């Protein structure tokens, strides 16, 4: 019951944020229209430790994705599973399902209980950014787009987030 309430709140929050972004605030629209590129800091990171947030931001900055997420949410495993279920996403069991992307809200969910290492974080975030770039739920399309991002990550000096 408690889980359900939390997820409902989360979805309501996402809906409100998404709605807010399409509402006509002239100031906001102006800022968006005049900005040449989406800002690397224009997305929200929620639920992460300060180290995780600094790292994921540094990795996304290096990958320069074609489409930025609107938010990156680090959630405990039970919330992750429940949210996936509410979104009717099939999350296969096993390590590779440590994150998923909800395309309509451009939200990347990361299972913080499966956070293993900095390198694997970047590797799988690249895959999720691939889903956003391809605007597709197809794993092949995501991996194809992720290839370039992973290359940029590999070629870049390790981000200094300390």
DSSP state of 158: P
Please list every residue from 128 through 157 that binds Zn ion, using CB under 5 A.
139, 142
Q: How far is the CB of 20 from Zn ion (least distance, A)?
A: 27
- H or E element, residue 99: strand 99-102
CA 66 – CA 68 distance, rounded (Å): 7
Number of residues that bind Zn ion (CB under 5 A): 2
Binding mask 93-132 vs Zn ion (x if CB under 5 A, - otherwise)?
A: ----------------------------------------
What's the min distance (Å) between Cβ of 131 and Zn ion? Answer: 6
Residues in contact with 84: Cβ distance below 8 Å, sequence separation at least 6, in sequence order: 90, 91, 100, 109
Q: Which is nearer to Zn ion, 14 or 142 (CB)?
A: 142
71 vs 102, beta carbon nearer Zn ion: 102
**Please, what is the minimum distance in Å from the beta carbon of residue 24 to Zn ion?**
34
- Smallest distance, Å, CB 157 to Zn ion? 28
CA dist 131 and 103 (Å) reads 8
6, 80, 82, 90 from 1: Cα distances, Å? 9, 16, 11, 21
Point out which residues bind Zn ion (CB under 5 A). 139, 142
């Amino acid at each position: 019951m408690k889980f359900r309430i939390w997820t409902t709140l989360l979805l309501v929050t996402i809906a409100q944020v998404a709605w807010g972004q399409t509402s006509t605030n002239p100031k906001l629209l102006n800022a968006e229209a005049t900005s040449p590129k989406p800002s690397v800091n224009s997305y929200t990171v929620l639920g992460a430790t300060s180290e995780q947030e600094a790292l994921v931001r540094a990795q996304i900055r290096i990958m320069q994705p074609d489409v930025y997420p609107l938010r990156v949410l680090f959630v405990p495993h039970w919330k992750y599973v429940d949210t996936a279920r509410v979104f009717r996403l099939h999350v296969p069991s096993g390590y590779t399902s440590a994150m998923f992307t909800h395309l309509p809200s451009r939200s990347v969910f990361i299972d913080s209980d499966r956070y293993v290492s900095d390198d694997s974080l970047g590797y799988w975030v690249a895959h999720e950014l691939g889903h956003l770039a391809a605007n597709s739920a197809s794993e092949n399309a995501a991996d194809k787009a992720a290839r370039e991002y992973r290359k940029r990550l590999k070629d870049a000096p390790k981000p200094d987030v300390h």
